[in-house]
Amino acid sequence: MIKIDSRDFGMTEVDEKAVLEFPNGLFAFEDDRKFALLSPLGENTYPMWLQSTERKELCFIVFDPSLIDDSYGIILNESEKKILKVKDGDEIRCLAIAKVPEDFRKTTVNMKSPIVINPVTNTALQVILPLDYPFRHPIYESGEVE
């Protein structure tokens, strides 16, 4: 276990083996390579927090895009597969970064540039999909919360 100082939850312990390694960082945060997924509402419960293990202030709220659009699918190019160490048919996990404004009912997620994770190696990569997904997809219809 390692301790990380999280933006929203203070000092938190995470399993060192669960830390995600981003060989290329995230878009606009290329120097930040290690993140932990925090799930304060319960394991694999969304939203989750993608927290940098090195910078407290660097944290993103993420959702599983397939829970927002059940037809969501991704296509990886050969370079992306090589970085992730996956081949066609291997299990992968996807996360979409959310933009949460003051009025949380106007939250959107980036469906075009998901984070793709190889759950075996915990290698992660943010990609830009060649598919027609929006950068800002609302998660609440008409701003209403169920």
Looking at the predicted structure, is the pLDDT value of residue 142 above 90?
no
Cβ atoms of 95 and 114 within 8 Å: the answer is yes
Between 145 and 86, name the one with better pLDDT: 86
Domain range for 111 is 2-143
- What pLDDT score does 3 carry? 93
- Nearest residue to 94 (alpha-carbon basis) of 70, 125, 121, 71: 125
pTM: 0.89
Q: Can you give the pLDDT at residue 27?
A: 93
Please, what is the average pLDDT of the chain?
A: 91
Q: What is the mean pLDDT of residues 104-128?
A: 96
Query: Would you say residue 116 has pLDDT above 70?
Result: yes
CATH label of the domain that carries residue 38: 2.30.290.10
- pLDDT value, residue 145: 46
Phi, psi of 29, rounded to the nearest 5 degrees: -135, 50
User: What is the count of structural domains for the chain?
Assistant: 1
